[in-house]
Amino acid sequence: MSRQITSYALMALLFLTSTTLLTHGCSTTPTTNEQTQEKTVTESTKEATQQEPSQQEPNQQEPTQQEPTQDTEADAGMEAPQPDNTTTPDTTEVEKTPIPEPQKDAAPADVPASSEDYTQQGPLTLAANTQASPTLPTSTGCSGSKCKVFLNIDMPSAGNTTRKAPYPVIIFSNGFLLKAERYKTYAERLAKWGYVVVRWDTNQESAFSALAHNVLGKMLVAIVDWLDAENKKAGSALAGKLDMSKLMVAGHSRGGKISALAAQSDARIKAIFGIDPVDSAPPGQTNTHSAIKNMNKTSAPFATVGAGKSAGGFQPCAPAADNYEKFFNAATTKAWEIFLPEAGHMQFLDSQSGCFSCLACSSGSLQDKEVREITQVALIAWAESTLRGADISTYISGSWIQTLTQKGTATSRSK
C-alpha cells in the first residue's frame, strides 16, 4: 500500500511542478518524434488539441451544442474544463433532423454482420458534440461544488438500416489527474459505429483532494440516472436517442476501476471495458473499496487491455497487485484480456503533450498510435458483442489477434 501511495504522490508532485512551469511560460509543444507518434488513428478526425479551461461554465440545466473553442489546455485537475467541440458540424441541420421514436420491439436487423471490420473508422458520421454540466445528488457522497460534473457527449448524426436511434450508450471515465479531452478519438470512433459516448470530468478535484473511488462509482451511476431522465424529457437534445437497455461502462486507469465499481452496484450496466485498470487507492486513502475483490457482484461481461510496462519502473503506475490481470482473474462472467507487453500506462492517451503526470509512468517500444489502435478495435468489438450480439471470434481468437500475436505485439486469453 505504501508503494501505491508513493506512486500517486509522485504523480501529484509532477502535477504541481507542471503548474509552476506552465505559469512561467514553459512550452508544451511536442517534439517531432511525439508528433509522429501522436497522429490519430482516425483518418477523418483531427487529433484532439490541448485546451485550457475558461472560467465560463457550461449550461447546468440542459444539454447544449456549442461551437468549438480555440483555447489550450494542460491537465491540471483543478478547474472545471470546457468540453471539446473540435469536430462540430452544422448544428442547424442537426436540429432539423427528426428525432426517431424509440424502437419498442428491437428487430434482428440491429445485429451487425459477422463480417464487420472494426479496424475501420465506422460507417456513420458525427453529430455536433453536446455538452452538459449537471449537479449530481449528494447521496453519492459528493459535497458542494464537487457534485458538479462536465459531460461531453458524442453521437452519430444519422443512422443506417442496422445502426439507428436509439443508440447503445457507453460512459467513458478518464484516469487520475487526466481529462476527458485526452480520450476524444475513442469517443468519436465509437460514435461512428453507432454509439452515444459520454465522457465526463469532475469539478475542482486535485492531486491532494481526490474523490474517494466509491464516491466516483456512485457518481457514475448518478450520470446513468441523469441520461435516462434526459432521454425521456421532451425538448432535450438527447430525447429518444439513447437505448438505455444497452449500456456499457469503460475507462482508463482509475476510470477502469470506477467502471467496475458502478457495474457492481447497478444491473443496468451490461458490459465493462477496462483500459489498464488500477485498483489502488487515492493518495492518502486506504483502499477500502476494492473493485477486484467485488468482481463477483456483477453479471456484466468484462474485457481489459493491459500494458506490460505499467508495473515496472521506479514507481509503478499500475502495481502488479492491482492491475488488469487481477481484474481478469477475479471476473466471474464472460471475460477477455489483451496484453501488450511493450506498452506503457500512459500510451493509451490521445496525446501525452503537456501531461507532466505522464512522466511518472514508463513507456514501451510500441508506438502510441498502435497502442490506441489495438485498444480501440478491441473496445468496439466488445461493445458490438455485448450490446448488439455480434460474433467477434475473429478478434478474440481469430485472424486479428493471431496476427498481433505472431508479431509479438499482443497476447490474448478469454473465459
Count Cβ atoms within 10 A of the Cβ of residue 141 and give its class: 0-12 exposed, 13-18 middle, 19 or more buried: middle
Going by pLDDT thresholds of 50, 70 and 90, the confidence category of residue 177 is confident
What the block records as the C-alpha cell of 129 is 458534440
pLDDT of residue 107: 40
pLDDT of residue 161: 75
Element (H, E) at 396: helix 393-396
153 vs 318 pLDDT, higher one: 153
Residues 6+ apart with CB under 8 A from 415: 331, 334, 335
**What is the arrangement of strands in the sheet containing 150-154, beginning at the earlier edge strand?**
64-65, 130-132, 150-154, 196-201, 167-173, 242-252, 271-275, 302-307, 335-340, 411-414
User: What pTM did the predictor assign?
Assistant: 0.77
Going by pLDDT thresholds of 50, 70 and 90, the confidence category of residue 142 is very high
330-331-335 Cα angle (round to 5): 135
pLDDT of residue 398: 97
pLDDT of residue 235: 96
Reply yes or no on whether the pLDDT at 207 is more than 90. Answer: no
Q: How far is CA 81 from CA 44, 46, 127, 367, in A?
A: 25, 20, 21, 28
Residues 6+ apart with CB under 8 A from 387: 168, 246, 247, 248, 270, 271
pLDDT of residue 84: 47
Closest CA to 340 of 317, 382, 309: 309
Q: What is the mean pLDDT of residues 144-153?
A: 98
Q: Model confidence over 221-277: pLDDT tens digits?
A: 999 999 999 999 999 999 999 999 999 999 999 999 999 999 999 999 999 999 999
pLDDT of residue 314: 60
The residue assigned the cell 424529457 is 233
Q: Model confidence over 70-98: pLDDT tens digits?
A: 333 344 333 344 444 444 444 333 343 34
Reply yes or no on whether the pLDDT at 41 is more than 50. Answer: no
13 vs 192 pLDDT, higher one: 192
What the block records as the C-alpha cell of 148 is 458538479
Q: What is the mean pLDDT of residues 146-158?
A: 96
296 DSSP 8-state letter:
G
Going by pLDDT thresholds of 50, 70 and 90, the confidence category of residue 162 is confident
pLDDT of residue 36: 39
Identity at 338, one-letter amino acid code: I
Going by pLDDT thresholds of 50, 70 and 90, the confidence category of residue 114 is low
Query: Please, what CATH class does the domain formed by 2-22+56-96+112-414 belong to?
Result: alpha beta
pLDDT of residue 285: 76
Q: Model confidence over 359-379: pLDDT tens digits?
A: 889 999 999 999 999 999 999
CA distance 408 to 402: 10
Reply yes or no on whether the pLDDT at 180 is more than 50. Answer: yes
Domain ranges in the chain are 2-22+56-96+112-414
Instruction: Indicate the range of 13-17, 319-323, 359-363 predicted with least confidence.
Output: 13-17
